[in-house]
Every structure is written in C-alpha cells, then in structure tokens.
Amino acid sequence: MNAPVSISAAQIRKANMGAHLRALISELTLADLIGDVRSPGHPDRLGNYQYTHNGRIFFSCDPRPDEVHIDDIAKHLSRNCRFGGATMSFMSVAEHCWHCSQVVPEHEALEALLHDAAEAYIGDMIRPLKTLPGLGDIYLKIESGIERAVAERFKLVYPWPASVKKADEFVVGAEVAQNIRSKVTNHLSDDIDARDAGLKSDLRFYYWGDELAEVFFLQRFYELARKREIA
C-alpha cells in the first residue's frame, strides 16, 4: 500500500495564491492599490495623467465622463493594432469595434462599437497576461473604471450586454482564423456559433489603414448616436 501523500500548508497556500490575490484585489479600490499617487498640479486626482492625441490630458485611474471625447477614442483605436501587432495584415482596434457593431442587434450596436474604448487610453493587454491573477486583475479594474465613464458619457448600457460579449468573441475567432499565421487552437476565445448567438455571420475584414479606420469608426459612431439622440 502506498503511503499517504503529505501536503504542507505552504504548498496549499502556493496552490491558492492566485485565487487569494484575485479575491483581495476585487475587494480593494484603486486608491487602496496604488496609494496616494497624485499628478503634479492636480492633487485632487488619483494617479498620473496622460496625454491624448488632440491635446487633452486624461486620468486613467480617475476617469470622468466629461473628459471622454470620441475624437480621442477614434484616433487612438485606429492606431492600435490587434493582438499586439501579431497579425499578418494590420488591423486596428477601431476596425475590430466597427465589425462588432455590425453583427449585434441594432439597438446594442453603439455599445459594441465602444466596448473597447478604454483601450484608447490604456492600450490593450494581450489575453495571456490579462487572464493572470494580479496583473490582469489590476488592469481590468482600471479598464472597467474607464468603461463606466465612457458608458455614462454616451448613455450606454453597462455592463456591456451579453450580445456584445458574444460578438467580441465571434469577431476574435474570425480574426484568428483569417489574420493570425499560427493555426494553434484559439483556446482563449469561446467557440461561438453566430447563428446560435443571434449574430450576423457574414464577416469580411477590410484591413483599413489608421486614417480610414478612424473615418469609418467616427461615421459609425455618429450614425448610431443620431438614432439615440446623443450629443
């Protein structure tokens, strides 16, 4: 008979460290996590500010709806490449969002168009890192704060509707199939059948350069915003 396996308390703690860290971070605010970090000249704001393309400043750790501007979002997303630049052809986050807005039901298209708006300010953390306890959880906490500010600014439904999340995964799967050289199974994306998810399944990418991506992103935004009477 084999001897019983002995597991030390240290091994148990190590095994559960990720779960403990994730639970701890979820209970803390950003102020708890980053301490009393303030921007020079802005003692009332949490964290340091960053510049936007159009000459503004933005506080990613202390976002406010009135400081969210669609021209900044469109410019930055049009210049950010999907998958950290690992694509065969350049594809911007702006085009990704445009496609997401095309496959969801019309009444949720604006949420789909802006679901990655936070990446205009903090970039995109690739999924293998975003899913790590600790590192990814802090990024997601900052991201969700910006998303809430974006949603409030443009009167969006937040948290994002289920159809938006399904559309995002569906478009990700198509991007991997059509624009990623490696054909290793895309284990980070749910296997979503467009018909079962209620999505429009005809998906063709255009690989717009940044200037065209910005134009089409803004056109889509104003088209949808007019229907909702959003200024």
Tens digits of residue pLDDT in 157-174: 999 999 999 999 999 989
- What is the overall mean pLDDT for the chain? 87
pLDDT at residue 68, as a whole number: 98
pLDDT at residue 10, as a whole number: 61
- Give 19-36 pLDDT, tens digit per residue: 878 888 888 888 888 888
How many angstroms separate the CA atoms of 112 and 141, rounded? 20
Pull the structure tokens for residue 132.
């790590």
What percent of the chain clears pLDDT 90, i.e. is strictly above it? Answer: 62
What sections of the chain are H helices per DSSP? Answer: 9-27, 30-34, 70-79, 93-103, 109-113, 119-122, 127-130, 135-153, 162-179, 210-228
Tell me what the mean pLDDT of segment 90-105 comes to.
Answer: 97
Pull the structure tokens for residue 70.
């669609």
Residues 6+ apart with CB under 8 A from 168: 100, 112, 115, 116
Pull the structure tokens for residue 104.
């969801």
Pull the structure tokens for residue 61.
């750790």
| The CA-based dihedral angle spanning residues 194, 197, 198, 202, taken in that order and rounded to the nearest 10 degrees | -10
Pull the structure tokens for residue 179.
């624009």
